[in-house]
């Protein structure tokens, strides 16, 4: 009995003594189990504080006036892979549990169901067809309906299978249009604005050849950007991906080879289509633009995807907020309004690598871009939607005290070893057991490294998407329509209703 008691006391002592290890000093944190917790306001310890805050919110909600103006402008922000746990964790990363991101302040919100026609958990291609084109389709396809299986070249050539985006319909109403992304401009999400393809990976003709298809028949996405009915009419194209537009024998401005094998320089071909077109490739050129005097502009700021913000050369590479600001200023010079698509693409890519710190930092950069749009636009005539295409497997759990570093420990397991607040269901952060068979001691890792791969349950080279619903935030004309639980493909139909574009029922029809 005494032996068992000694073992129990020893085990409890191990748990309480489990390392609250300080990292490199750059990210100090509170202990996992401190006495008390961090308060933003000492008054939080009173019931009156919470009652007063709640009553203030009630008054704000009941005083809202419905905005039923026609939306002259529509901006769709897409946080790629920005799951609800990602948003909650990003708030803490940004300063505290109570900190609101820019879109948290929007008055209306819905949930979006993201599954595709053939998959429980979707990818960024089929979801782009849904939230931009209004039709759910098959995994890996963009801008074509569910009639087209993946890699069905003949099916994608049949124009009756094409799904037309809200960008296309906005152009029909003489609105200016644009896209901004931190990925390649030919990547799955931005391609949803202008492309029709049975394979998301066919970004250049060499990619089509890699699939043993004929690129003269299966038109690659970059070619559709330059010559396609919607792509060729875009006024603003900002992002990465020079390599998909340049031949392999040509180096770009930073010494990287192109990927095209047809010998066609699509950047030059894009410029040749009109005398007033401009091409830029670095931050200085972007910031030097006279945005009041730009008709059409192509800005390619990286040979492939743009760098993560934490790795970004701020002297050469613009931020997402800077690109967004310039795009809005350029598009605002038109008389008939505009449609703009803005993607924070690299939230998703960081999650795939289980690099939670990077993913949360990219979410904050995305929030800054949303705030830039809020600051530049008028809620009376501009509808802003913020959503995600799909979730990820990141979880936010444990019983860490208020104010604890979101990227450190959430508590201690019954084995006396710590576990992180942020974890993934699968991915490259899987930790093998120690030599003695015990759970890996995470406290010994260099978890303060920006690119540390956070723990996962199952080992995979790349963490998967999640199938849970994602949030939709709305501000501006007809924003109150974005409530409840929506099929993802309803989103562009509501945007079209608010802005009186497309072939469906619109606010202008209702007014007549």
DSSP H or E segment with residue 239: strand 236-240
Q: Exposed, middle or buried by CB within 10 Å (0-12, 13-18, 19+), for 13?
A: exposed
Q: Judge whether 389 is annotated as a binding position.
A: yes
The backbone torsions φ and ψ at residue 430, rounded to the nearest 5 degrees and listed phi first, read -55, 135
- Cβ neighbours of residue 456 under 8 Å, at least 6 residues apart? 354, 393, 423, 424, 425, 426, 427, 428, 429, 430, 463
Nearest residue to 319 (alpha-carbon basis) of 255, 364, 377? 364
Q: Is 80 annotated as a binding residue?
A: yes
Residue 456 annotated in active site: no
Helix (H) or strand (E) holding 473: strand 470-475
Collapsing DSSP states into helix, strand and coil, what is residue 184?
Answer: strand
H-helix or E-strand spanning residue 486: strand 484-487
Find out whether 465 is annotated in a ligand binding site: yes
DSSP structural state of residue 260: B
Q: 303 a known binding residue?
A: no
Tell me: is residue 97 an annotated ligand-binding position. no
Is 206 part of any known ligand binding site?
no
Query: Which of the following is catalytic: 83, 116, 124, 165?
Result: 124
- φ, ψ for residue 199 (rounded to 5)? -150, 115
Residue 329 annotated as binding site: no
Q: What one-character-per-residue DSSP string does 98-134 give?
A: TPPPGGGG-SEEEEEE---SS-SS--HHHHHHHHHHS
Q: How would DSSP label each residue in 400-431?
A: PPTT--TTSEEEE-TTS-EEESEEEEEETT--
Contact indicator for 180, 239 with CB cutoff of 8 Å: yes
* Cβ(372)–Cβ(382) below 8 Å: no
The secondary structure of 318-372 as a DSSP string is --HHHHHHHHHHHHTTSSS-EEEEEEETHHHHHHHTT-HHHHHHHHHHHHHHHHH
Nearest in space to 150 (alpha carbons), one of 190, 185, 200, 192: 200
> How far apart, in whole angstroms, are the C-alpha atoms of residue 223 and residue 244?
9
Q: Which residues are catalytic?
A: 124
Per the annotation, binding residues for Zn(2+) are 80, 348, 352, 389-390, 465
Residues annotated in a binding site for Mg(2+): 80, 187, 189, 343
């Amino acid at each position: 009995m005494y032996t068992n008691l000694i073992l129990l006391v020893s085990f409890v002592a191990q748990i309480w003594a489990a390392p609250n290890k300080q990292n490199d000093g750059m990210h100090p944190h509170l202990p996992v189990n401190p006495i008390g917790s961090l308060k933003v306001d000492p008054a939080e310890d009173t019931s009156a504080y919470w009652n007063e805050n709640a009553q203030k919110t009630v008054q704000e909600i009941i005083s809202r006036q419905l905005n039923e103006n026609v939306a002259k402008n529509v901006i769709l922000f897409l946080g790629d892979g920005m799951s609800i746990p990602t948003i909650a964790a990003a708030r803490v990363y940004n300063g505290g549990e109570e900190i609101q991101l820019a879109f948290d302040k929007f008055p209306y919100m819905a949930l979006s169901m993201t599954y595709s026609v053939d998959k429980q958990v979707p990818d960024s291609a089929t979801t782009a067809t849904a939230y931009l084109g209004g039709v759910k389709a098959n995994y890996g396809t963009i801008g074509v309906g569910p009639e087209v299986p993946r890699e069905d070249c003949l099916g994608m050539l049949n124009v009756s299978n094409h799904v037309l985006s809200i960008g296309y319909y906005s152009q029909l109403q003489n609105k200016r249009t644009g896209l901004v992304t931190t990925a390649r401009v030919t990547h799955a999400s931005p391609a949803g604005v202008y492309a029709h393809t049975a394979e998301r990976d066919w970004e250049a003709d060499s990619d089509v050849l890699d699939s043993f298809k004929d690129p003269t028949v299966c038109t690659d996405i970059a070619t559709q950007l330059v010559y396609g009915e919607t792509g060729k009419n875009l006024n603003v194209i900002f992002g990465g991906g020079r390599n998909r537009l340049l031949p392999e024998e040509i180096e770009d401005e930073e010494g990287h080879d192109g990927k095209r094998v047809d010998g066609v320089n699509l950047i030059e071909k894009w410029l040749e289509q009109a005398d007033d077109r401009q091409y830029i490739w670095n931050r200085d050129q972007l910031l030097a633009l006279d945005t009041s005097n730009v008709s059409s502009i192509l800005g390619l700021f990286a040979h492939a995807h743009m760098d993560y913000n934490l790795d970004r050369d701020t002297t050469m590479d613009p931020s997402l907020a800077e690109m967004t600001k310039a795009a809005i200023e350029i598009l605002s010079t038109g008389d008939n309004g505009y449609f703009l698509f803005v993607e924070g693409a690299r939230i998703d890519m960081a999650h795939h690598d289980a690099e939670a710190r990077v993913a949360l930092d990219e979410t904050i950069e995305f929030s800054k871009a949303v705030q830039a749009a809020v600051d530049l636009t008028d809620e009376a005539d501009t509808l802003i939607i913020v959503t995600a295409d799909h979730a990820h497997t990141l979880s936010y759990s444990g019983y860490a005290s208020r104010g604890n570093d979101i990227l450190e420990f959430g508590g201690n397991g019954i084995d006396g070893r710590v576990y992180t607040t942020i974890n993934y269901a699968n991915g490259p952060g899987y930790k093998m057991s120690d030599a003695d068979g015990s759970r890996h001691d995470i406290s010994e890792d260099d978890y303060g490294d920006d690119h540390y791969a956070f723990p996962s349950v199952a080992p995979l080279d790349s963490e998967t998407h999640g199938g849970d619903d994602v949030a939709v935030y709305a501000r501006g004309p007809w924003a109150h329509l974005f409530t409840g639980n929506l099929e993802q493909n309803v989103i562009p139909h509501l945007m079209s209703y608010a802005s009186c574009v497309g072939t469906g029922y619109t606010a202008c029809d209702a007014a007549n």
